[in-house]
Amino acid sequence: MFPLEDAEIGAFTFFASALPHDVCGSNGLPLTPNSIKILGRFQILKTITHPRLCQYVDISRGKHERLVVVAEHCERSLEDLLRERKPMSCSRVLCIAFEVLQGLQYMNKHGIVHRALSPHNILLDQKGHIKLAKFGLYHMTAHGDDVDFPIGYPSYLAPEVIAQGILKTIDHAPSEKPLPSGPKSDVWSLGIILFELCVGRKLFQSLDISERLKFLLTLDCVDDTLIVLAEEHGCLDIIKELPENVTDLLKKCLTFHPSKRPTPDELMKDKVFSEVAHLYTPFTKPASLFSSSLRCAELTLPEDISQLCKDINSDYLAERSIEEVYYLWCLAGGDLEKELVNKEIIRSKPPICTLPNFLFEDGESFGQGRDRSSLLDDTTVTLSLCQLRNRLKDVGGEAFYPLLEDDQSNLPHSNSNNELSAAATLPLIIRERDTEYQLNRIILFDRLLKAYPYKKNQIWKEARVDIPPLMRGLTWAALLGVEGAIHAKYDSIDKDTPIPTDRQIEVDIPRCHQYDELLSSPEGHAKFRRVLKAWVVSHPDLVYWQGLDSLCAPFLYLNFNNEALAYACMSAFIPKYLYNFFLKDNSHVIQEYLTVFSQMIAFHDPELSNHLNEIGFIPDLYAIPWFLTMFTHVFPLHKIFHLWDTLLLGNSSFPFCIGVAILQQLRDRLLANGFNECILLFSDLPEIDIERCVRESINLFCWTPKSATYRQHAQPPKSPSDSSGVRSSAPYFSAECSDPPRTDLSRESIPLNDLKSEVSPRISAEDLIDLCELTVTGHFKTPIKKTKSSKPKLLVVDIRNSEDFVRGHISGSINIPFSAAFTAEGELTQGPYTAMLQNFKGKVIVIVGHVAKHTAEFAAQLVKMKYPRICILDGGINKIKPTGLLTIPSPQI
Amino acid sequence: MKKNRERFCDREREFVYTFKVGSQCLELRVPLKFPVQENASHLHGRLMLLHSLPCFIENDLKEALSQFVEEESLRDYDRDAESSLEAVKSGEVDLHQLASTWAKAYAETTLEHARPEEPSWDEDFADVYHDLIHSPASETLLNLEHNYFVSISELIGERDVELKKLRERQGIEMEKVMQELGKSLTDQDVNSLAAQHFESQQDLENKWSNELKQSTAIQKQEYQEWVIKLHQDLKNPNNSSLSEEIKVQPSQFRESVEATGRIYEEHRKLEESFTIHLGAQLKTMHNLRLLRADMLDFCKHKRNHRSGVKLHRLQTALSLYSTSLCGLVLLVDNRINSYSGIKRDTGNQNGESDDKTKNAERSYLNILPGEFYITRHSNLSEIHVVFHLCVDDNVKSGNITARDPAIMGLRNILKVCCTHDITTISIPLLLVHDMSEEMTIPWCLRRAELVFKCVKGFMMEMASWDGGISRTVQFLVPHSISEEMFYQLSNMLPQIFRVSSTLTLTSKH
């Protein structure tokens, strides 16, 4: 989007038609309200950016099918010029005509027809150039179908538009659906407007609407429309004195028969504009992020760099895009409805006065006076930016142009720096509503994303602080490492040819996050369908499992106008977090995943784990939709966003921690209840405090040794050549982000049944060495890591018999021989180290032995005694032996 | 016109593209359906893939394709437009009718072309009242209303006494006559006396109802005039008498004669509240309440504890012109003009003075089950809107379904609640106001379950109409229901609605 510059932001409102009573859609589901249909169709308008068109910014639904549209706005319009009642100079008329045509041509190229062209919808910016307003109304209302009022203004309707009459497509079977108005109707409207400008007065003012329309239709039979119109309004002499190219232009526009009338595109190229056409350079849309063309292609430094600083003004806010300014306006307390109420555009009556007297069984009401407040008043109200500017008056220029090269300063050094860092410690929900904080974050992310992928590392770093909601779509794409010609790739996928999965997709979409306006709109459904089909078609080895729709939802929501990016993000997300989950036979993957999850519950919360196992409430019963959809099936979108903001920074084992964190939030209720109540509780997951959930998941993650969540069916680590280049990104919670290369000390895969039989997770020798901060002397190359004080202190329990222990053991480990460790009742027998073991309760305890069965049993006993963070050394003591790390204690101890 | 249209729509046209590979000339033919719905670049991608076209023609094909689509669409637009112009020219479409349809559409939907609004007395009064009730004058206003209420109650009291006396007298007379029956008097004599009695009862009732009507009309006018005058005076700053005017009123406050004498028979009111969540992922919160109370309790001013009542009244008055109204569903039979049962009682409540109660137009005499009329009230204790839902004897039977007119009526009522900002609604849970013998325990449970489930469904539907605004729904059961039954019903509710968990405060682990 363009910077705001001297433009303003305006809002106008209208009502969508109410739905007929008790009509169901063809699929048996209730009909989509018209306001939602409009909202969905509106979205694409936000991408239509042209200097001659008012940039659309936002649409919002109010009560009772009201819609409020926010768009770029200028206070002055051609209406104001007409009010001066002076004929306009011919050169000016030509310029205006050409500029309007530029706008129309660009719209037409995107399949949009204006239909509501009128002097008050042709705005004038500060430099006197025109901008077309309300150009998307015809498009967003499905050519007028979804609103009660006619689109367009009586004086400016083209004859064919009048002749087509007001037909709602809903009255007709689709086969006889009349075509909507074409691009040429706008040319007629333009002709009338230009005529008015030339003569300096409005036409048809003395005629009422039906006479006006009748008059317009009779123009068929006249020789020269221009002369007839001029005679009718007594301005023949003015018209006769117009230069030839202007009369020519008017005649071409006011050609009665559309087949003979030029399109905007044709008219622009006409010789009547030979004088003015060269004054305008054709507009090219700047390349966006993820476009395949070079974004820097047009960038050139001027000879004299000081030129760049020449026209610097101090209004930095005006340099931000209109979308950002509006976003900040809302944060600074802007209230659309209030603005419209203040200007008396919204005049609602007290509802008690508009109640009907009587209602029939079919829902038809009687005795309800027509509510005048529902009439269309399409006046645009300028939203005052005073409050926002006032709020931001202390924000220095540095905040608007942060320096990115210095890695140390991620936040600008301004006066408000302290305040900002103070703000950074506030809860996320408050930060997301803080105007200044968001301004800083948005600008920072905007700049970093513009430098993506070069600035990828810094994006990761900043994303760890938080992600500004406005930039979330692109930031996620950056975090997922989306690159390349995503549009070309998406376009080349066949999303139309029917496939067997279609039926299932069709069933699932109307049930997926439908509380959301965007995703429940027909436009949203169509996009869902395409992205899902594209994924299914382009992943022949995988299949569509129910849940993929939920997984798609956050990406589609964030990139509603960029299906290719939504598809690319989803395609990058699935292999990272849900590797092989969508195999046709995914049972082995899911089973392993759930078993590891069980072990994680036991590791972090033995009491809960014991209870759940006792009542038989195993993860298979509730956790499959959690993981298969990465929680998108269970949470509403706004919670998914916060959850995934963190999830995307973690590795593929982070979801286990989220799962445990959710269980812990419901801990009390789970512990207090039996199987049936638990099933009931989880059939519709209760409200979860998502910020707490995120915080606790991170904490759990930090306590979890990396190898504890090892899965043999996880995505194999990328080959070094692959990862060296791009994946040098900073790690998040642990010291490692991508998996380290495999060594002999890594975990080995074991059969699923063995894994299932073990309550506690195994950890690799590598992890043990790392956690004990042992130095490896042997020929093994273990990565050398920084010592971190935050590393959990741990206790190694050696359960071999004491003879073996004396022959060599891990330094610092204690010896509790398995054979004598427990009493018949399962209590710990008192031994020299019992107290020590109790002291370490809560720390990580690693059980080491040489018989796998014994270590597992020992661990299980400890879990039963509610010892948390119990794990087993994978491969036993034998794994450590070759490293030469075993020590022999001095005999006196 | 229809025929013309059909000719131009949904046609297939062939897109032909030729290109050269080396010396070979190849041709691609694609049938396209017009108007083209899909995105040209999607179509293009599909063509490339489907026909394994070489990449060097990619851009050229794309251009040719979009040009073809553009040109053909333009041609369609032209043809369609010309045909409709032709239809007007040939007279197939009537020019005058066409023009007047347009004119009507503009006049009915746009502010610019709409007829200027006739000043609405209703709305002007709404503004005035709303201003006053939010000013220091509110107390005076309420007191005045209360006085009206008291005087009407007195009238009603008198009426009741007189009617009672009449009935007693007639009873004695009748008894005497009955004793003489078969002796000096015949059946016919008894009948004629009974007819005479009935007639004099009717006469008396009519007399009273006329009198009541008259006094309410007088009160209404007086009240309206006074409100308007007060408002004008308030606006006029140099009016010294004003403060007096406001002050004087309270001293005039009259205690109702029977205020102390007639104590309401206070049943033990049973009440239980629930907070529920609706929706799968995004949950909307609503309040439900199960009450054992009389429907009319919400209308009555309880005279025996005044201060609390006053607060209720003030609350109701303050929100009268707001966007959070309170409604009540009353079940009525289909005879609008008759005067019996609950309608009679409502009549008595309503009768007690009113500034702007509007009764439904009395013109339609027959209303069908499931239909309802709406009355608006300014001076009931907790209610602004009453839905008079027509039900027949069918509701007493045990086997009504979710498609029963009464249930559909409830749905329509909830829909009106959505469109007119009624945020609190009270519903008779069992769809009856009084219990009778056939209403056994299983009957009650079955009925309650049906209504709970249907209301839940409607509330979920409502979320899509209004975006899930939080609401309060009160389910009322008749007084005559046992305490045990009440608790059975209150146990049923959380099984049907998802009750949000109580907030458990725990120390951090």
pLDDT tens for each residue of B83-136? 999 999 998 889 999 999 999 999 989 988 887 776 677 777 888 888 888 888
Cβ separation of B282 and A686 shorter than 8 Å?
no
- The answer to whether the CB atoms of A176 and B5 lie below 8 A apart is yes
Cis peptide before B35 (omega within 30 of 0): yes
B373 → closest Cβ in A30, A357, A530 = A357
Q: Interior CA angle at A759 toward A655 and A749, to 5°?
A: 70
| Cβ atoms B154, B214 nearer than 8 A | no
Give the pLDDT mean for A618-626. Answer: 94
Q: pLDDT tier at A719 (50, 70, 90 boundaries)?
A: low
Contact B48 A513 (CB under 8 A): no
CA distance A747 to chain B (A): 32
Segment B361-377 mean pLDDT: 73
- pLDDT of residue B155 exceeding 90: no
pLDDT at A733: 43
Beta carbons of B279 and A515 less than 8 Å apart:
yes
pLDDT surpassing 90 at residue B35: no
Tell me: the pLDDT tens digits for A670-718?
Answer: 999 899 889 888 887 888 899 999 999 999 999 898 889 999 888 887 6
pLDDT tens per residue, range A769-822: 888 766 544 444 344 444 444 445 788 898 888 888 888 888 888 888 888 888
CB contact under 8 Å between A165 and B108, yes or no, is no
Locate A225 and state its tokens.
Answer: 């429309």
pLDDT at A312: 62
Position A445 pLDDT exceeds 80: yes
Considering only residues B257 and B308, tell me which one the structure prediction assigns the higher pLDDT.
B308
The pLDDT of residue A38 = 96
Residues of B in contact with A184 (CB under 8 A): 74, 77-78, 81
Helix or strand or coil: residue B181?
A: strand
Closest chain A residue to B71, measured at CA: A263
Q: Give A571's pLDDT tier (boundaries 50, 70, 90).
A: very high
Torsion over CA: A435, A437, A439, A445 (sign): negative
User: What is the dihedral angle through the alpha carbons of A617, A620, A622, A623, rounded to the nearest 10 degrees?
Assistant: 120
Q: Could you say which of A162, A353, A367 has the minimum Cβ distance to residue B122?
A: A353
pTM as predicted:
0.87
How much is the pLDDT for A112?
A: 94
Task: Dihedral sign for Cα B461, B466, B472, B477, please.
Answer: negative
Angle at B409 between CA B404 and CA B412, to 5 degrees: 135
Q: Which residues of B touch A359 (CB under 8 A)?
A: 371-374, 412-413, 416
A393-413 core/surface letters (b: 16 or more CB in 10 A; e: else): eebeebbbebebeeeeeebbe
Neighbours of A61 (CB within 10 A): 17
**What residues in A contact B405, CB-CB < 8 Å?**
361
- pLDDT confidence of residue B217: 87
Residue from B84, B122, B323, B417 whose CB has the most chain A CBs within 10 Å, to mutate: B84
Residue-level pLDDT at A890: 62
Structure tokens given for A337: 């409805």
Q: Is A848 helix (H, G, I), strand (E, B) or coil?
A: strand
Taking residues A666-673, report their average pLDDT: 92
**Is B429 exposed, middle or buried (CB count within 10 Å of its CB: 0-12, 13-18, 19+)?**
buried
Q: Taking CB atoms and an 8 Å cut-off, how many pairs form between chains A and B?
A: 258
Distance from the Cα of A598 to chain B's closest Cα (Å) equals 21
Burial (Cβ within 10 Å: 0-12, 13-18, ≥19) of residue B237: exposed
Q: Average of pLDDT values for A379-402?
A: 89
Q: Average pLDDT, stretch B143-164?
A: 84
The string of DSSP codes covering B260-282 is: TT-----PPPEEEEEEEEESSSS
Question: In this structure, what token pair is assigned to residue A81?
Answer: 């010029």
Paired residues of A828 in beta bridges: A822
Residue B251, pLDDT score: 39
Q: Which two tokens stand for residue A848?
A: 């080491």
**Helical residues (DSSP H) of A583-652, grouped into ranges:** 587-604, 606-615, 624-628, 637-647
Of B209, B144, B204, B201, the C-alpha closest to B173 is B201
- In this complex, do B84 and A165 lie within 8 Å of one another by their Cβ atoms? yes
pLDDT score, position B10: 57
For residue A69, the SS3 value is strand
Residue B111 is nearest to which of A154, A377, A634, comparing CB atoms? A377
Task: Please count the other Cβ atoms lying within 10 Å of the Cβ belonging to residue A741.
Answer: 12
Under DSSP, the state recorded for A817 is -
CB < 8 Å to A491, chain B = 41-42, 44-45
Asked whether residue A834 carries a pLDDT value surpassing 50, the answer given is yes
Q: Which chain B residues are Cβ-neighbours of A493 within 8 angstroms?
A: 45, 49
Residue B229, amino acid: K
Judged by CB atoms closer than 8 Å, whether chains meet at A350 and B81 is answered as: no
Spatial neighbors of A676 by CB under 8 A, at least 6 apart, are none
Q: Which candidate in B77, B104, B322, B377 is best for mutational testing of the A interface (most A CBs within 10 A)?
A: B77
Contact B82 A258 (CB under 8 A): yes
pLDDT at residue B7, as a whole number: 46
pLDDT score, position B297: 77
Helix (H, G, I), strand (E, B) or coil at A71: strand
Nearest to A494 among B46, B74, B371 (CB): B46
Percentage of chain B modeled with pLDDT above 90 = 20
pLDDT for the residue B257:
42
Q: How far apart are CA A324 and CA B53, in angstroms?
A: 43
CA distance A352 to A369: 12
Residue A220 and residue B46: Cβ atoms within 8 Å?
no
Q: How far apart are CA B326 and CA B423, in angstroms?
A: 6
Non-local (6+) Cβ contacts of A784 within 8 A are: none
pLDDT of A236 > 50? The answer is yes
A361: nearest CB among B9, B281, B371: B371
A interface mutation test: which of B62, B111, B368 has the most A CBs within 10 A? B111
Helix (H) or strand (E) holding B5: helix B2-8
What pLDDT does residue A742 have?
A: 62
Residue B427: which of B460, B458, B465 has the closest Cα? B458
The pLDDT score that the predictor gives to residue B365 is 54
Between chains, do B506 and A668 touch, taking CB under 8 Å as contact? yes
Of A166, A496, A515, the CB nearest to B105: A166
Nearest residue to A532 (alpha-carbon basis) of A543, A516, A522, A518: A543
Contacts of A148 in chain B (CB under 8 A): 108-109
Q: Which amino acid is at A651?
A: N
Chain B residues touching residue A360 (CB < 8 angstroms): 368, 371
Distance from CA of A434 to the nearest CA of B (A): 24
Residues in chain A: 893
**B46 to chain A: which residues are within 8 Å by CB?**
494-497
Residues of B in contact with A355 (CB under 8 A): 374, 376, 385, 416, 420
Contact A353 B126 (CB under 8 A): yes
The span from the CA of A726 to the CA of A769, in Å, is: 29
Backbone dihedral region for residue A558 (phi beyond 0: left; psi -120 to 50: alpha; all else: beta): alpha
CA dihedral A779, A782, A786, A789 (to 10 degrees): -100
What are the DSSP calls for B358-392, one per residue? Answer: BPPPTT--B--TT-EEEEE-SSSSS-SEEEEEE--
Could B468 and A160 be called an inter-chain contact, meaning their C-beta atoms sit closer than 8 Å? no
Q: CA-to-CA distance for A697 and A687, rounded, in angstroms?
A: 17
Within the 185-214 window of chain A, which residues sit less than 8 Å (CB to CB) from chain B? 185, 208-211, 213-214
Kindly determine whether residue A634 and residue B281, on different chains, have CB atoms separated by under 8 Å: yes
pLDDT of B342 over the 60 cut: no
Neighbours of B128 (CB within 10 A): 18
Q: Which residues of B touch A121 (CB under 8 A)?
A: none
Banded pLDDT at B254 (limits 50, 70, 90): very low
Cβ neighbour number for residue A285 with a 10 Å cutoff: 11
AA identity, residue B189: D
* Confidence grade of residue A222 (pLDDT, cut at 50, 70, 90): confident
Q: What does the block give as tokens for B346?
A: 């409502």
Nearest CA in chain A to B45: A492
User: A111 or B334, which is more confident?
Assistant: A111
How distant is the Cα of B2 from the closest Cα of chain A, in angstroms? Answer: 7
Question: Can you give the pLDDT at residue A528?
Answer: 95
Please give the residue of chain B at the shortest CA–CA distance from A488: B45
Interface touch A213/B98, C-beta < 8 Å: yes
- Percentage of chain A lying above the pLDDT 70 cut: 89
- Return all residues near A687 (Cβ < 8 A) that are at least 6 apart: B277, B283, B500, B501
Interface contact A493-B364, CB threshold 8 A = no
- The pLDDT confidence band at residue A149, using thresholds 50, 70 and 90, is very high
Assess A258–B contact: CB distance below 8 Å, yes or no: yes
Please give the DSSP secondary-structure letter assigned to residue A57.
E
Residue A373 near residue A349, CB atoms below 8 Å: yes
- Residue A610's pLDDT band (boundaries 50, 70, 90)? very high
Mean pLDDT for all residues in chain A: 86
User: Does the beta-carbon distance from B109 to A149 stay under 8 Å?
Assistant: yes
Nearest residue of chain A to residue B497 (CA atoms):
A684
- Please answer whether residues A193 and A101 qualify as being in contact, where contact means their C-beta atoms are separated by less than 8 angstroms: no
pLDDT over 70 at A500, yes or no: yes
Answer yes or no: is pLDDT of A311 > 80.
no
A463: nearest Cα among A414, A436, A428: A428
- Of B423, B216, B414, B212, the C-alpha closest to B329 is B414
Residue in chain B closest to A108 (alpha carbons) equals B70
Does position A735 have pLDDT exceeding 80, yes or no? Answer: no
Q: Is A498 exposed, middle or buried (0-12, 13-18, 19+ CB in 10 A)?
A: exposed
Query: Per residue in A8-24, pLDDT tens?
Result: 999 999 999 988 776 66
- Taking the C-alpha atoms of residue A256 and residue A220, their distance in angstroms, rounded to an integer, is 6
- Residue A847: pLDDT band with limits 50, 70, 90: very high
What pLDDT shows up at residue A687?
A: 83
Quote the pLDDT of residue A854.
Answer: 87
- Which among B117, B422, B465 has the least Cβ separation from residue A372? B117
Average pLDDT over residues A626-640: 94
Mean pLDDT for the stretch of residues B216-241: 78
Quick check: B233 and B242 in contact, CB under 8 A? yes
Query: For residues A828 and A820, what is the distance between their CA atoms, to the nearest angstrom?
Result: 9
pLDDT at residue number A313:
65
Question: How much is the ipTM here?
Answer: 0.85
User: Is-cis flag, bond preceding A453, omega within 30?
Assistant: yes
Chain B residue with Cα closest to A347: B111
Q: Which residues pair with A73 in a beta bridge?
A: A8
Among candidates A508, A505, A489, which has minimal Cα distance to A571? A489
Residue A605: pLDDT over 60: yes
Please give the residue of chain B at the shortest CA–CA distance from A638. Answer: B282
Cβ neighbourhood burial of A312 (10 Å; 0-12, 13-18, 19+) = exposed
Query: What pLDDT score was predicted for residue A364?
Result: 78
With bands split at pLDDT 50, 70 and 90, how would you rate the model's confidence at A50?
Answer: very high
Q: Are B216 and B351 in contact (CB under 8 A)?
A: yes
Confidence of residue B303 (pLDDT cuts 50, 70, 90): low
Residue with tokens 């194999």: A716
A252 touches chain B (CB under 8 A): no
Query: What would the 3-class secondary structure string for A726-752 be?
Result: HCCCCCCCCCCCCCCCCCCCCCCCCCH
The overall average pLDDT reported for chain B is 79
- Would you state the pLDDT for residue A655? 95
In chain B, what is the straight-line distance between the N-terminal and C-terminal CA atoms, in Å?
77
